[in-house]
Structures are given as structure tokens and as C-alpha cells.
Amino acid sequence: MKRLATFLVGMLAGIGAALAAVNLNSATVAELDAVKGIGPGKAKAIVEYRDKNGPFKSVDELANVKGFGAKSIDKLRAELSVGNPAPAAKK
């Protein structure tokens, strides 16, 4: 019984990780590309926008990135977040 409980807890943790929203402020091009509706070109554009303009304040700010309109942002909203940005790399 203990093994079954451990297995179930592990499975639920894995599902939670798989369903976690991708953070626009820390995600790599590859992580963004893995989101359904964002291809490699859009993923690169998101990272370039973030590098040039700083962290996203909201998912709605994606409207400033070429290739994203209100409808596409609404479809992606549940899969994206703008939690705390990753610390800036030291130069």
C-alpha cells in the first residue's frame, strides 16, 4: 500500500510539472517552442523582445511581439506566465 501511495504522489507531481505555465521572463527559446502555438520563430522573437525591453509585466505584453495578436494571446494565456524574472546574468 505504501508503494502505491508513493507511486501516486510521484505521478501527480509529474502531471503538475507538465501542466505548469511557461514563464515568459525565464524560458529559453526551446522551452517556448515547446508550447503549442509558438514555433521557433515566435519563440526567438519573444526572447529577443525580452532581452531588448526587459521582463514582461503581463502576458498581454506579447501583443508587442511580432506575430502575436489578441486571439493568439488568448489561446496561449493558460500556458504562459510572467512570474518573477530570472536573475540577470553577471557580465
The separation between the first and the last C-alpha atoms of the chain, rounded to the nearest angstrom, is 52
pLDDT reported for residue 78 = 94
Reported pTM:
0.71
Q: What SS3 class is residue 28?
A: coil
Q: Which residues in the chain land under pLDDT 70?
A: 1-19, 84-91
Asked if residue 68 lies in contact with residue 42, where contact means CB atoms within 8 angstroms, the answer is yes
CATH classification of the domain holding 72 = 1.10.150.280
Longest CA–CA span in the chain (Å) reads 54
pLDDT reported for residue 9 = 47
pLDDT reported for residue 1 = 67
Q: Please count the other Cβ atoms lying within 10 Å of the Cβ belonging to residue 2.
A: 6
Classify residue 87: in a domain, yes or no. Answer: no
Tell me which residue range forms the domain holding 77: 21-81
Residue entry with cell 496561449: 76
pLDDT reported for residue 20 = 75
Render pLDDT for 52-76 as a digit per residue (tens, 0 to 9): 999 999 999 999 999 999 999 999 9
What's the structural domain count of the chain?
1
Q: What SS3 class is residue 57?
A: coil
